[in-house]
Amino acid sequence: MVLKWRGVLKVANLSVSVVAGTLCFAPALAASQGATLTFRAGCSGGERIVVGVVGDLLFHNSLQRQALASGGSYKQFWQSLSPALEGADLTYGNLEGAVAQGVGIGGRARRDPGRKWDGRVYGTPRGSLLFNYHPSLIGDLKETGFDVVSTANNHAADRGALGFDRTIDALGSGGVAFSGTRRRDAAPGQRWAVKTKARGFTVAFIACTYSTNGMPDREKQALNCYSSRDEIFEEIRWNAQDPDVDAVILTPHWGVEKSSAPKQSDRAYARAAIAAGATAVVGTHPHVLQGWEKVATTDGREGLVIYSTGNFISNQVSDDQRTGIIGLIELTRMSSTKAEVSAVGFIPTWVTRGRHRVDEMKVGMRNGALRFSAPLRRLPTGNYVRAREYRNLVRSCPIAARDSSLGVLK
Report CA-CA distances (Å) from 129 to 181, 187, 215, 274.
Answer: 20, 31, 12, 34
* Structure confidence at residue 86 (pLDDT): 98
Closest CA relative to residue 82, chosen from 358, 329, 290: 358
Residue 14's pLDDT is 36
Beta bridge partners of 194: 205
Per-residue pLDDT tens listing for the chain (410 residues): 333 333 444 334 333 333 333 333 344 553 434 589 999 999 988 999 999 999 999 999 999 999 999 999 999 999 999 999 999 999 999 999 999 999 999 999 999 999 999 999 999 998 899 999 999 999 999 999 999 999 999 999 999 999 999 999 999 999 999 999 999 999 988 999 999 999 999 999 999 999 999 999 999 999 999 999 999 999 999 999 999 999 999 999 999 999 999 999 999 999 999 999 999 999 999 999 999 999 999 999 999 999 999 999 999 999 999 999 999 999 999 866 799 999 999 999 999 999 999 999 999 998 888 999 999 999 999 999 999 999 999 998 864 444 433 433 33
Alpha-carbon dihedral sign for residues 67, 309, 50, 97 = negative
- The gap from C-alpha 188 to its chain's centroid, in whole angstroms, comes to 28
Show the DSSP H helices in 25-94 as ranges: 61-68, 82-87
Contact criterion met (CB below 8 Å) for 68 and 105:
no
Quick one: fold of 33-395? Purple Acid Phosphatase; chain A, domain 2 (3.60.21)
Give the pLDDT confidence score for residue 334 in this predicted structure: 81
For residues 117 and 207, what is the distance between their CA atoms, to the nearest angstrom?
29
Task: Please count the residues of the chain.
Answer: 410
Q: Which of 371, 346, 294 is nearest to 51 (CA)?
A: 346
Global pTM value: 0.91
> Could you tell me if 358 and 77 are in contact, meaning their C-beta atoms sit under 8 angstroms apart?
yes
CA 27 to CA 12: how far, in whole Å? 10
Can you tell me the distance from the alpha carbon of 404 to that of 119, in angstroms, rounded to the nearest whole number?
A: 56
Q: Closest Cα partner for 273 from 241, 297, 289, 243? A: 297
Give the Cα separation of 293 and 280 in Å (integer). 10
